[in-house]
Amino acid sequence: MDNASKQNSDQKPQHVKIEFHVPDEDGKTNIETMWAIDLGNNLYQLDNLPFYAYGISWHDKFKAEKQNEQGFAKFKEVTEKSGNKTLRLIFTEEDLDTRIAEQILENITEIGCGYEGATASYYTINIPADIEMTDITEILTSNEIMWEHADPIYDEISD
């Protein structure tokens, strides 16, 4: 390994915020910003779990373009899928009160999934490539938890 390669490999990856423009049901656009690792040449690797954006998961690689010097780069397209999958779920007050929410999160963690919570009731779940999505969806469905496909989206699975 030459000195330049060693020097670059010793450096921590540079995290940057990326804008993801997410259309809503009213035809408006909301912006979700997420952390990504700057790979150079307008390529990035997602280092967040998406709460609102669809079609992208943790560690996917993607293109983004800088809009101006003051703003964040804007997501353009996924260039390489990591194999991770994303689900989102919402717990009801009853789920929280009866501690079923806590039990569900423990179960999916034991299986090997990760999660991030936006609130006490709204979570995004990362399903690693080596875990079947149905292993998680069956737990959620059998416990009557509200959930949705975020990546892949439902239409991609049902086609």
Please check whether residue 48 is in contact with residue 37, taking contact to mean a CB–CB distance below 8 angstroms: no
**Answer CATH for 85-158 from 3.30.410, 1.10.10, 3.30.2450, 3.30.70:** 3.30.70
- Residue intervals of the chain classified under CATH 3.30.70 are 85-158
Task: Report the pLDDT value the prediction gives residue 80, as an integer from 0 to 100.
Answer: 98
Q: What is the pLDDT along the chain (159 residues), one digit of tens a residue?
A: 344 444 455 567 789 999 999 988 888 999 999 999 999 999 999 999 999 999 999 999 999 998 767 788 999 999 999 999 999 999 999 999 999 999 999 999 999 999 999 999 999 999 999 999 999 999 999 999 999 999 987 667 654
Task: Report the pLDDT value the prediction gives residue 10, as an integer from 0 to 100.
Answer: 59
Task: Report the pLDDT value the prediction gives residue 149, as an integer from 0 to 100.
Answer: 93
pTM across the whole model: 0.85
E strand intervals along 81-140? 85-90, 114-117, 122-127
Neighbour-count burial of 117, counting CB atoms closer than 10 A to its CB (0-12 exposed, 13-18 middle, 19+ buried): middle
Rounded to 10 degrees, the C-alpha dihedral 145/34/52/87 comes to: -30
Q: Which residue has the tokens 């259309």?
A: 23
